[in-house]
Amino acid sequence: MNRVGLFGGTFNPPHDAHLVVARRALEQFALSEVLFIPCGIPPHKEIEDGVSKEDRYEMVRRAVKPYARFSVSRIEIDREGRSYTIDTIRALRGGYPQGISFILGADLLLEIETWKEPEALLAAVPFLVAPRSGISEEAFSVPPFTRGTIHFLKMEEVDLSSTWVRERAKRGDRIEGWVPPQVASYIAERGLYGYRKAVGVGSQVLGGRV
């Protein structure tokens, strides 16, 4: 309780499900704040051509601006070289004496052995995990996950991804309804992902907008 939840990711782009996950974590674990941390240079993937880290930071900043207890950090955007979660946690935890947790999807946690210093990372903070389709909680009942503290968010499985949003944008399909309006406007203004003016009907994510 009262911890700060760190929510890392490429956020390329940030979408409505990210906000839903952050809100569920805030509510269910009585966090004082959720700090979004867009990755500068991700170690495991390439960023879409033409989308800078400043673009991704600005999209996250716009997405979280309406929420008093959501904020965004530049720590990985401003860091030289690749961004590693364990380095970020070590750099930030001294500034939060109330403690920190790390928010992520079950699919990403399942790959933690490919991350830098996975055992140190598991021991460093509690993990607040959003369910993903096809991944059961039992998958985390074996080493190395048993060396960490893992809590699962009580919510519907997340089935919206940034990849899916980018594909819609490339086709010229409407993305409003899956990303916050201020993010959709920024994508259109900058022509990110080849997106200009789209048509169509939006949808809702996880039973409603946040």
The distance from CA 131 to its chain's CA centroid, rounded to whole angstroms, is 13
pLDDT higher than 70, residue 55 = yes
- The residue type at 24: R
pLDDT higher than 90, residue 200 = no
Question: Which range is least confidently modeled, 15-29, 97-111, 154-168?
Answer: 154-168
What pLDDT does 30 receive?
A: 97
Domain extents for the chain?
4-159
- 146 burial (CB, 10 Å; 0-12 / 13-18 / 19+) is exposed
Q: Is the peptide bond before 144 cis (omega within 30 degrees of 0)?
A: yes
What pLDDT does 149 receive?
A: 97
Claim: this prediction has a pTM higher than 0.85: yes
What pLDDT does 26 receive?
A: 97
Contacting residues for 72 by C-beta, under 8 A, at least 6 apart: 35, 36, 37, 38, 57, 60, 61, 64
What pLDDT does 205 receive?
A: 43
Class of domain 4-159: alpha beta
